[in-house]
Structure formats: structure tokens, C-alpha cells
Structure 1
Amino acid sequence: MNLRDLRYLLALADHRHFGRAAEASHVSQPTLSTQIRKLEDELGVALVERAPRKVMLTEAGAEIAQRARNVIAEVEQMREIARRAHDPESGTLRLGLFPTLGPYLLPHVVGPLRARYPKLELLLVEEKTEALIARLREGRIDAAVLALPVDDEGLEHAVLFDEPFVLAVPEKHPLATPRGRKRAALSLDTLQHEHLLLLEDGHCLREQALDVCHLAGASEKDGFRATSLETLRQMVAAGVGMTLLPVLAVKPPVPPQPNLRLLPFAAPAPKRRIALFWRKSSARAAFLRGFADVLARLPAELLRLEARE
């Protein structure tokens, strides 16, 4: 048994298809299939149920695959310890971000990160929160930027910043004001009895928005759930309804949306708390604390919206 064959098994567990697993492993399909059969012969147990259109792991195969993840994660930690001893700020960092934050945060932090860590290769993984937590536990990524709370005793975190929400309404909504005119910040009570457009299940922003709705006495608009933040933005601009947007999602380089008004809340504004998470067992814990410090240095103006257009 060797690490290469365990990696082939994990690729098959992830992709459930010999062709896609082989492609991900950068080998031919016959090579991967042969090595899986050799691994089965060595262990004396079937690891895979083979069907024409899909592949499933047997009960033993699923348990062995999980243990293989742990083994490979430990091996990666050993390699990381060696790399860190040579140069703590070089090598590769696999960083996870969730979709309603990643595209809007990265333009503001990639430059400072490159300046601070010029020898670091940053590999970015964008997934929903639950998928990122699973990847982090399994050692498939090194750290993840997530919204609190995260309930996992095996993870450690450093708080980065609080990101306020703003209310997005159509241009002709009664709450909107003509462009260029001052307006007062909204009270959360303004949302009472309103119906907001929200994201589909699985997005942490949906849960955060629902929390705000419950506090304000608002509810979700029936019959619509968006697949992305950009869909929400377009639906509001089209006059379908209103929604909550995180403030980074309305800051440059994101262009202004025609036919849409952004309204800030009075303090204390509804917000989400963003943190960097890593495994408590990570060999890079000390480095990641410093990495978190760089991520946390966002200019204050990025995290607020003035009470004017």
C-alpha cells in the first residue's frame, strides 16, 4: 500500500466516476482502475461497487477512504512542518472562501497579501460554508474565511472584521431617495412586515438575513430564492422586491447597479462577523495568525456606507 494508491481511492470517492477521477489524478483511466484493483487485492476486500454509469464505495471502502484522508492529511502536515522549518512564509496555502464574500473581499486583500508574502502561492477554493468546513476538517484546504458562528471544536479562529448589511431597494421604492440627496439611516424597525428576497438554502447569507428578518419582524418573499448574490441584485433592480446585501458587495470595484438604491442602517446596524479558521492541529497555526492580521487590515471606509447616494 502506498500514498499514491490512497490518493487514487480518494479521487474515486470524490468524483464517483473512474474517468473523472483519473483526470483529476493526471493518470489514464486504466492505470487508476488497475491500481484500485491492486489495493483491493492487497486489503482482501472490495472497495468499490462498479456500475456502468456511476461508482459507489462499499461500506468498507468508505471507511478506508476516510482513514486514507486522515493519513494523507497527516503526511501533508509533515511536509508542511519541513517547509515551514526551511521558510515559514513560502509554499502553498489553500484558502477557502464562501461565494457571498470571496469575490468582494479578494480585490482588497490579494495585493497586501502578495506584498507581505511574496513567496507564498495562494490557491483559492470557493464553496458554500458546509463544504468548506468539511474540506478543512479533512485537510483538503489549510484555512477558510467563514462567518461566525461555526460550531466545530477541532477548529481555531481569528476574528477579521464585522461586515454590516445594507438594504437594497428598487429605484422607485418609497424608501428610496433621488440620487445625490441626503437621507437618514434606517431603523431596523423599517423592515417590519416587509418581505425580502433571499438566497436559496445552503448559503450562510440566507441564515444571516433570516436572523435579521426575525429581529425586525420581516419575512421572506414567497416563491423566489436566488442562487447567487448577483441574481438578488438584478431582481431588486428589476423591481421585484428588496433584499439585504453585505457592504463589501456594493463597494468598488463592483459597479453601481442602475435602478437600485442602497440604504444604510442606523447603529447598531445588522452585520455578520467574519473570521479566519484553521485546524487546531495545523502545523501552520502561528503563520495563519499572522496571515489573519493582514486579512483584517481593511480600510474602515470599505466597511461602511454613508447615508447618501
Structure 2
Amino acid sequence: MTITQLNYVLAVAEHKNFTRAAQKVFVTQPTLSMQIQKLEEELDIQIFDRTKKPIQLTETGKKIVQQARNIVNESDRIQDIVDQQKGYIGGIFRLGVIPTIMPTLLPMFISNFIKKYPKVKLKIEELSTQAIIERLREGHLDAAIAATPLELNGIKENVLYYEPFVGYIPPSHRLHKEAKIKVEDLDIDDILLLEDGHCFKDGILNLCKATRNYDEDHFQLESGSFETLIKLSNEGLGMTLLPYLHTLDIKDSEKENLRMFYDPVPAREVSLIYNRSELKMQIIEALRSTIAGVVKGAIAFQNVKIISPLSNNKKEVQL
């Protein structure tokens, strides 16, 4: 049994096709098939059911793939140990970022990071939280930036910052005259939301569930971007909530419509998340310190209440 054979098994398990798997690991299809067959003969079991289309794992094969992933990760750790001993920070690093964080946070730190760590080849993907979790567990991402807490087995969360929710309230709205707003003021009936799949929407729903003004059966007007929500709000179709960093880039004329919450300010927790195997920790720490350095000057709130994207649990944080 070799690490190479296990990598081939993982590739076929992912792609459910020998030809695509061979392309992924840069070998010919006959070579990959032969090596997997050798492994199956050595173990005296079938890892894949080749009679099904697409190819499926057998019940034993599922357990083998789980263990193979652990072994491959641990073998990668050897190179990690060597890199850390040498003080080397470099190589390919695959980072996932959720859509409501990507356009505001990425421009803030990416240039600094590239200049400081030129040997790191960042491969960044914009992905939903669910896709990020799946890719982390499958070993296709090294880390991700997402709204937390998620409290998932096998996933570590390293908090980067707390980002307040900010009300965007046009002149036609009943709350526009208020200097600040309270959570109790919110009414889900007139809040414009992001479409399904965005954890920021889930956070808003969790926020509103804590008030008397929540109707789970109500249909809200939804959109795929904050820019569209702002335009719809300007047309008098309701208010919306924005992440604080997004408010820094809106037009000066629209900033007059922004309203902060009274303390404790509802906020989302943004974290760097990664596997508990803690591979490439030197790069993860480099990312953490770079992001924390640039965000520290942009967000300065002392009393926030964290709204989870996945549950109704809230926690107050004194900074």
C-alpha cells in the first residue's frame, strides 16, 4: 500500500470516474486503474462498485476512503514540519471566502499579504458556507473565511473580527427619523433580504426571530447582492441590513440612510476556519495576522452581540 495509491482512490471517490480522476492526478487512466486494482487485490476487497454509473464506493470502500484521507493528510504534515523548521512560508494555498465577505475584505488585505509572502500562491474561491464545509472536509481547501460560530466536528474556528449589522433605511421608511435603531424595531415584513444560500440572510432571520415581529410564512423580496438591495430600498420597497464593511464603500448621498443599532450592537463573527489536522499552519497564521492588522483599524466597536448564521444562539462580546 502506498500514499500514491491512496491519492488515486481519493481522486476516483471524488470524481466517480476513472478517466477524470486520472486527469486530476496527472497519470494515464490505465496506470490509475492498475494501481487501484493492485490495492484491492492486496486488501482482498472491492473499494469501488464498477457496475454502477457513476462509479460508487462499496460500504467497505467508504470506510477506506475516510481513513485514506487521514493518512494522506498526515503524510502532508511531514512536509509541513520541514517547512516550519526552515521558517518557510510558501506553496499553494487554497482559500474559500463566502460571497458577503469577499468583495469588502479581500481588497483590504490581499495586496499586503502578497507583498509580505511572495512565495505563497493563493488560490481563492468564492463559495457558500455549505460548499466551504464540504471542500474543507474533502481536503480541497486549506482554509476559509466565513461567518461563525458553526461549531462543526473536525473544523477549527479562529476569530478574525466582529462585524456589526447596519440598517439601511431610506427617507420613506418609518425608522428613517431615528438616530439609532433597536432590534425590537425590526419588522421582517419590510426588510429586503439576500436570496437563499447566503448566511448573512440566515443571520438576519435569526435576529428577527427574537422579536415579536417575525412571521416565518411571510414572503420577502430577495436579491443576490447588497447593491441591488440598496437600489430596491431607495425605490421605497423597504429597508435592508448591511455588513459594516460594506457601508464604507457606498455613495456619500446614501450614507445618510445608514443607521447603527443601540448597544449591544448585533454583529456577525467572521473567522478563519480550517481542519483540525492543522496543515499549513504557518500560512494560516500569516493570513490571520495580516487580516487582523488591516481590519483592526476599520472596525472599532466595544459592545456587540454575535448573531450565528446557523442557530438562534447569541452571545455578547465585550471588546
> What TM-score range do you get, normalising by the shorter chain?
0.7 to 0.9
Change (3 A) 1:264 1:53: farther
- The RMSD of aligned alpha carbons is 3.6
Change (3 A) 1:65 1:224: farther
What is the correspondence of 1:220-259 to structure 2 with a 5 Å cutoff? Answer: 221-222=218-219, 226=223, 232=229, 236=233, 241-252=238-249
Deviates more, 1:141-150 or 1:109-118: 141-150
Identical amino acids, percent of aligned pairs: 35
TM-score by length of 2: 0.76
Supply the distance in 1 between the matched residues of 2:225 and 2:42 (Cα, whole angstroms): 46
Supply the distance in 1 between the matched residues of 2:18 and 2:230 (Cα, whole angstroms): 40
Q: Which consecutive residues of structure 2, in runs of 5 or more, have no partner in the other structure?
A: 301-319
Supply the distance in 1 between the matched residues of 2:39 and 2:248 (Cα, whole angstroms): 52
**Could you tell me whether the CA contact under 8 Å between 1:165 and 1:264 is conserved in 2?**
no
What is the correspondence of 1:1-309 to structure 2 with a 5 Å cutoff? Answer: 1-50=1-50, 53-152=53-152, 154-168=154-168, 173=173, 175=175, 184-192=179-187, 194-219=189-214, 221-222=218-219, 226=223, 232=229, 236=233, 241-252=238-249, 262-268=257-263, 269-282=265-278, 284-285=280-281, 288-299=284-295, 302-303=298-299
Change (3 A) 1:206 1:19: farther
Supply the distance in 2 between the matched residues of 1:141 and 1:57 (Cα, whole angstroms): 23
Supply the distance in 1 between the matched residues of 2:248 and 2:141 (Cα, whole angstroms): 28
What whole-Å deviation, never above 9, does each CA across 1:240-290 have from its counterpart, x for those lacking one?
A: 5443221233443xx659999852223323210112234444254466345
Supply the distance in 1 between the matched residues of 2:14 and 2:227 (Cα, whole angstroms): 29
Q: Which consecutive residues of structure 1, in runs of 5 or more, have no partner in the other structure?
A: 178-182, 305-309
**Could you tell me whether the CA contact under 8 Å between 1:186 and 1:264 is conserved in 2?**
yes
Instruction: Give 1:101 deviation, angstroms.
Output: 1.1
TM-score by length of 1: 0.78
Counterpart AA for 2:161: F
Partner of 2:181, secondary structure, is coil
Query: How many correspondences in the alignment?
Result: 298
Supply the distance in 1 between the matched residues of 2:253 and 2:23 (Cα, whole angstroms): 43
Counterpart AA for 1:167: G
Q: 1:307 corresponds to which residue?
A: none
